[in-house]
């Protein structure tokens, strides 16, 4: 058996011979790994989920609507059929799908009453502006008109029919609380693109003052055929493009018709219509999420650094207490490399054991946090593997100085002190 393998086995034996000290080192490592698992699962899991969610909002869709920036006392800008005709004429050669949208705030009753929903009148092409599937039923057709049928967002379906599966909502009727009321039958339920719906609604305290356009993108709507609302005014026009090239062309043409408002431009010269490319918002949001991920990385790296310093200090103290043992091993023929390998093996054994202990500890901690703050932490095997690698690296790094100290001891000086 090679001397290096013997050194590794001796390191494992020392870990077993010192159970209390090894356990304290392993617990320190376990706490660091538990925090690492939680932060990584929160950091990368949340980032991955949110990126997936916002990608479903329609990356190749452009929204054209009335500008929210108006000068004091100015009349409300018109936005209706003439603007819709201009948009369609400008994009006639791009295979664009234009979906006019009219909205109205309303209350509705199913099995339960919801005081504030958005009644969104759209065409049958509306699903093409999003990357969201139906979880039940179908979308309404061009032949279905008025308030005869409707499609619900999943969040709206759950609020109106609590405890009822989406498939069981189909065929039920809503009572809309509006002047020209109606009882449309539910023919479909649109999936909710927001993974963290509960968290979003818990922190969203401005629902009562949100604009209709903002409410639409909260995905708590009742969709009806476009003939259901006869208002000449449009809330906005959605334009969906088939590819990146035609998206860029369409965006350029629309922004040439209605230039982007500059904050430095006087209010009287601002465009009354806004062209909003969802891709810009999605990319900007992705950049914000990346910044948040970097901050999360800093947190767990700081925790691991503190643990590394603590374990290194503990290992140095251990080496100092083992001077006689190390000197005797040198006298028996152990090389400096053998001692360095032994100490490194001890550090790796305790840190990896701590890492394995930290995985269930991190999972239990995440479960406790989920119950306290109702935040959906997510445990993923990939993060567990990353945590084990971090624990191994922690053990290796924290063993560098102790291994160097052990390998550099002069056995003659150590034993001479003992004799005198």
List pLDDT tens digits, range 144-202.
988 899 999 999 999 999 999 999 999 999 999 876 677 899 999 999 888 777 666 65
Q: Across residues 29-45, what is the average pLDDT?
A: 73
Residue 295 within a domain: yes
Do 343 and 412 lie in one domain? The reply is yes
Give the DSSP letter of residue 127. Answer: G
CB 404: neighbour CB atoms within 10 A? 14
Residue with the two structure tokens 């080192």: 25
CB 47: neighbour CB atoms within 10 A? 16
What's the burial of 295, exposed, middle or buried (CB within 10 Å: 0-12/13-18/19+)?
exposed
On whether the CB atoms of residues 190 and 151 are closer than 8 A, the answer is yes
Residue 271 within a domain: no
Do 230 and 291 lie in one domain? The reply is no
Question: How far apart are alpha carbons 227 and 124 in whole angstroms?
Answer: 11
Q: Band of the pLDDT at 208, cuts 50, 70, 90?
A: very low
* Number of structural domains found in the chain: 2
In sequence order, the 6+-apart residues with CB closer than 8 A to the CB of 354 are: 25, 26, 27, 28, 29, 30, 32, 33, 391
Closest CA to 78 of 234, 229, 271: 234
Residue 377 within a domain: yes
Do 146 and 32 lie in one domain? The reply is no
Range of the domain at 11: 3-53+285-419
Do 106 and 39 lie in one domain? The reply is no
Do 105 and 48 lie in one domain? The reply is no
Do 31 and 142 lie in one domain? The reply is no
Do 9 and 108 lie in one domain? The reply is no
- Helix (H) / strand (E) containing 343: helix 336-373
Question: How far apart are alpha carbons 183 and 188 in whole angstroms?
Answer: 15
Q: Band of the pLDDT at 361, cuts 50, 70, 90?
A: confident
Cα-Cα-Cα-Cα torsion 299, 304, 307, 309, nearest 10 degrees, comes to -100
Do 110 and 43 lie in one domain? The reply is no
Mean pLDDT across the chain: 79
Task: Provide the percentage of residues in the chain whose pLDDT is more than 90.
Answer: 28
Question: How far apart are alpha carbons 343 and 407 in whole angstroms?
Answer: 9
State the pLDDT at residue 151.
96
Do 115 and 209 lie in one domain? The reply is yes
CB 309: neighbour CB atoms within 10 A? 11
**Sequence-separated contacts (24+) of 19-25 with Cβ below 8 Å:** 21/314, 21/318, 22/349, 22/350, 22/353, 24/314, 25/311, 25/314, 25/315, 25/350, 25/351, 25/354
Closest CA to 358 of 31, 10, 90: 31
> Residues 245-297: pLDDT tens digits?
999 999 999 999 888 766 555 555 666 788 989 888 787 776 666 666 677 67
Residue 333 within a domain: yes
């Amino acid at each position: 058996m090679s001397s290096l393998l013997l050194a590794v086995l001796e390191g494992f034996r020392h870990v077993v011979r010192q159970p209390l000290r090894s356990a304290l080192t392993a617990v320190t490592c376990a706490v660091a790994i538990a925090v690492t698992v939680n932060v990584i699962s929160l950091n990368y899991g949340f980032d991955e989920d949110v990126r997936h969610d916002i990608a479903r909002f329609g990356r190749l869709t452009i929204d054209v609507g009335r500008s929210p920036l108006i000068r004091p006392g100015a009349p409300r800008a018109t936005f209706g059929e003439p603007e819709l005709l201009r948009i369609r004429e400008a994009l006639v050669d791009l295979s664009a799908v234009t979906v006019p949208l009219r909205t109205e705030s309303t209350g509705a009753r199913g099995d339960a009453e919801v005081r504030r929903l958005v009644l969104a009148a759209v065409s049958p092409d509306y699903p093409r502006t999003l990357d969201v599937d139906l979880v039940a039923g179908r979308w309404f057709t061009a032949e279905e008109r008025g308030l005869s049928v409707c499609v619900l967002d999943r969040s709206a379906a759950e609020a109106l029919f609590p405890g009822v599966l989406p498939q069981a909502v189909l065929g039920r009727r809503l009572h809309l609380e509006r002047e020209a009321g109606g009882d449309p039958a539910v023919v479909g339920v649109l999936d909710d693109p927001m993974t963290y719906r509960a968290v979003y609604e818990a922190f969203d305290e401005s629902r009562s003052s949100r604009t209709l356009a903002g409410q639409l993108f909260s995905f708590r709507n009742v969709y009806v055929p476009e003939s259901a609302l006869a208002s000449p005014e449009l809330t906005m026009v959605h334009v969906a493009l088939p590819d990146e090239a035609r998206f860029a062309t369409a965006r350029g043409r629309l922004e040439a018709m209605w230039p982007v408002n500059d904050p430095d431009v006087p209010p009287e010269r601002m465009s009354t219509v806004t062209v909003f490319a969802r891709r810009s918002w999605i990319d900007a949001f992705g950049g914000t999420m990346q910044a948040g991920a970097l901050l999360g990385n800093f947190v767990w790296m700081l925790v691991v650094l503190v643990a590394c310093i603590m374990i290194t200090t503990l290992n140095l103290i251990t080496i100092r207490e083992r001077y006689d043992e190390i000197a005797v091993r040198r006298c028996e023929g152990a090389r400096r490399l053998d001692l360095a390998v032994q100490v490194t093996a001890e550090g790796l054994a305790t840190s990896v054991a701590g890492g394995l202990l930290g995985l269930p500890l991190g999972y239990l901690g995440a479960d406790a946090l989920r119950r306290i703050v109702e935040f959906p932490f997510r445990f993923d095997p990939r993060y567990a593997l990353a945590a084990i690698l971090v624990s191994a690296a922690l053990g290796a790094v924290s063993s560098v100085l102790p291994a160097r100290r052990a390998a550099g001891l002069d056995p003659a000086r150590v034993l001479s002190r003992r004799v005198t």
